[in-house]
Amino acid sequence: MTDVQLQELEVSNFRSIKGTVRAPLDAKVILVHGENGAGKTSLLSAIEMALTGRVVSLGRADPQYQKQLLHRSAERGHLDLRTLGLSGNNHFHSVLTMAGVEPGEKLPAGPASFFSERCYLPQSLLGQLLQIYQDSDSAPNSPLSRFVNELLGLDRLDAIETGLLPAADIRNLRKTTDRYGQVEYEKTRLERTLSEHRGVRDAAAKVVAEALGDLNLALAQLELLNPIDETRIGLIEEAISQSPEDAQLNDLADQRRQVLAVQQEAARNASTVSQQDETSLSEAHQKANSDLQGWQREFENVFSQLRDRVTKILPDAVLPQADPEAMCLDALKLLRARKVQLNERAVRAAQDTKRESEVTAELIVAGKHLTTIDGEIGRIAANSGNLAAALAELSSFVSNDHCPVCDRDFAEKGQGPLTEHLNHKVRSLSGSAERLLGLSTNRAEQQVLVERLEREATELKSRLLEPKALADLERESADVDALVVELDQRQNVAREGSRLAAVETATRRALAGHQSADLARTATMATLTELTETLGQAAPELVATPQSA
């Protein structure tokens, strides 16, 4: 049976399916979705019943199940299945009654058994298989996820979908290339570093320009040299080397700068004295980093998948990458707004469908009225008014029962006097003319009503959603609901992740600041020791501080 294909299935009043449903099956993969009780299992059971004349999974639960297959509100139903590739019959038809099933053609015993055992997996058996993986977690590489991916071929479908998307959108490139995010982050970091270096260079150039201005001013006052630029700095050394006091002056200026630098560093250290030592800061940072990494190992993939699902529904959404709590809040806001839009479209589609049915019924009634009016008009002669006028003029020439037209004696008819007969005929014809006028007016009104209803029906049909578009709308609405529920459930976890990231950043900065201050104190102490030796003073003693204790 590997070459046999299902073509089309028609189900009428079978189990939870009310009315007639036609399902095309000529595809390699068929996805059936819907709420509980919508009839998904009933469609699969209908295929098995049409092919084999029984439903094995239902028979195990209730031997009398065939009496319960007909929908409770119907008196009759049927199953109609068409296949391709079977030798012989490829059309299977079964009739459903309140007494049970009246199967028509069905598969022989061998192929029927093969189908029930190898080609169809009932919901109850699928539930038992899933129960085996009940204790599995929700990670993508869990046994349950691998089982579902292998069973439904989701990996191949995702790969096909990703491959068909254009690479012009940067989000598609992120999905297809794992290292693109790392390269993008490195590019941003390098651009930020380059910007910082340019800022430092510009600041240094400004300082050099100011120093050259001061230098040229001093040279002008000393009348040593003409104004110089950066390329002529060497001329200054030649000019000032002629003075024997220059070396001592340079040493004194250098010592003065060192003293000022030591004073500034001492003041800065005094204002930033911390009661924590480097060991406690390092331990705090290690603990915060360990907590953050533990959270990332457990939940980073979960939030990455949630972010991908949100961007699949809302491609234009820009969600924070490093802050899970902000990502959840932004995604919930966007998804709830999208849900409102979907609900409005669904309500409008339902209203259009209902109104289209009402307009169709009103058109049928209006058409019947037009037919009745046309019949009434046809039974009334078009010249009733003219004939009544002619008979009225003729009555003035009648003086007895002799007809002035045919010269016969009307008394032979035995219907009373001729004058009375003429008067009755004139009254009858005049009334018919008045009724004809009323019917014509009524017909014009009905015609206007029909034209208005036809225009409304045309407009409604142009607005009605196709079954596929309506199914896509319902599927997107269900996906949005599922995402909102999952994001709501993950908010506490996201809040904890943001808190851990903030703690790790704060402890890392505190440790780096402490280490930088410690290095600065060490360098200041070395400078001070060297300066005291130069001045012939006693070296300063190291006083224990919280940092050096």
Lowest mean pLDDT among 291-305, 325-339, 412-426, 516-530: 412-426
pLDDT score of 132 more than 60: no
Residue 127 pLDDT: 66
Residues sharing a CB contact under 8 Å with residue 539, sequence separation 6 or more, in sequence order: 529, 532, 533
DSSP track, 403-416? -TTT--BGGGGTSS
Please, what is the average pLDDT of the chain?
76
CATH for the stretch 5-132: 3.40.50.300
For residues 245 and 204, which has the higher predicted lDDT (pLDDT)? 204
Mean pLDDT of 511-528: 76
Q: Give the least confident one: 28-37, 49-58, 389-398.
A: 389-398
pLDDT, greater one: 79 or 2: 79
- Whether 248 has a pLDDT exceeding 50, the answer reads yes
First to last CA, the chain: 84
> Structure pTM?
0.36
Is 441 a residue whose pLDDT tops 90? no
- Domain ranges within the chain, ordered by starting residue: 5-132
Half-sphere exposure for 453 (CA within 13 Å, toward CB):
19
Q: Write the pLDDT tens digit of every residue in 335-363.
A: 888 888 878 877 788 878 888 888 888 88
Q: Using alpha carbons, list the distances in angstroms from residue 87 to 53, 91, 107.
A: 18, 11, 10
Angle between helices 324-379 and 467-489 (to 10 degrees): 150
